[in-house]
Amino acid sequence: MRKTAVITGATKGLGRAIAEIFAENGFDLCVCARTESDLEAMQEYWKTRYPNQTLHVFPVDLSKKSELLDFAAYTKKVFPTMDVLVNNAGVFIPGSIVNEGEDTLQTLLETNLFSAYHLTRAILPMMLKQQSGHIFNMCSVASIMAYPNGGSYSISKFALLGLSKCLREELKTEGIRVTAILPGAAWSDSWRGVNFPENRLMKASDVAKAVWGAYTLSDAAVVEELILRPQLGDL
């Protein structure tokens, strides 16, 4: 049976790099993003770059639970089994707790935490039935350290790491692996236009390779948390 992966926020940056490395290794994918035109462009690229792999796409705002549940239902419709879930979608809004907008925490929790929580809960019954699967939560170095102007973003990422730890404890006897990925700065659209040398930030493909490496371990091992930083350190 063909291997399958569901990846959120997969049209750009880290999500796109992760999608591509799984496709290169024979996975069929179901991905989502907010912008339908980006998903259509990704599908066109897939036809040429990965002609033997199926790519299902679904436009969704994961901060809205009703849309998220529609996406979850779609993934279960197109895939009879589920091997990998990558909760990658996220948003960054800078600001300190005392000065950020009134709704900043709510917005960041809805996208960075609640989306992973609800999508995982929706897909987990398939993995539990299989007694196999691997869940990746894309956390951040902001999950383990507070920094200036990080405010509610860091709060949401600390919480996502907490979710990962809880899932790991609950699922370790069910054949399901849970890995929290904690990357520092990596080149993506978020850093477009900044004036840094190319080697000052990691490549998105570096993070993707780390995810793939964690996945390829035997079923007897799991990477619980993986921290990646630029060689020259945090910005």
Residue 215 lies in a domain: yes
| pLDDT by 10-residue block (mean), the chain, 235 residues | 95 97 98 97 97 98 97 97 97 94 96 98 98 98 93 97 98 98 85 76 96 98 97 88
Q: How far is CA 95 from CA 98, 101, 108, 110, 138, in A?
A: 8, 8, 12, 17, 21
pLDDT given for residue 81 in this prediction: 96
CATH code for position 59: 3.40.50.720
pLDDT given for residue 193 in this prediction: 66
Residue 195 lies in a domain: yes
pLDDT given for residue 147 in this prediction: 86
Residue 74 lies in a domain: yes
Long-range contacts of 20-23 (CB under 8 A, 24+ apart): 20/49, 20/50, 20/208, 21/205, 21/208, 21/209, 21/211, 21/212, 22/84, 22/212, 23/49, 23/50, 23/53, 23/55
Q: What secondary structure, in 3-state letters, does 91-154 show?
A: CCCCCCCCCCCCCHHHHHHHHHHHHHHHHHHHHHHHHHHHCCEEEEEECCHHHCCCCCCCHHHH
How would you list the strands of the sheet with 28-33, edge to edge?
Answer: 55-59, 28-33, 4-8, 84-87, 133-138, 176-183, 225-228
Residue 235 lies in a domain: no
Residue 234 lies in a domain: no
Whether the Cβ atoms of residue 133 and residue 82 lie closer than 8 Å to each other: yes
Whether the Cβ atoms of residue 160 and residue 113 lie closer than 8 Å to each other: yes
Residue 10 lies in a domain: yes
Residue 220 burial (C-beta neighbours within 10 Å; 0-12, 13-18, 19+): exposed
Q: Which residues are designated catalytic?
A: 153
Q: How many domains does the chain fold into?
A: 1
Residue 52 lies in a domain: yes
Residue 233 lies in a domain: no
pTM to 2 decimal places = 0.96
In angstroms, the CA 3 to CA 111 distance is 27
Structural domain including 114 reads 4-228
pLDDT given for residue 191 in this prediction: 64
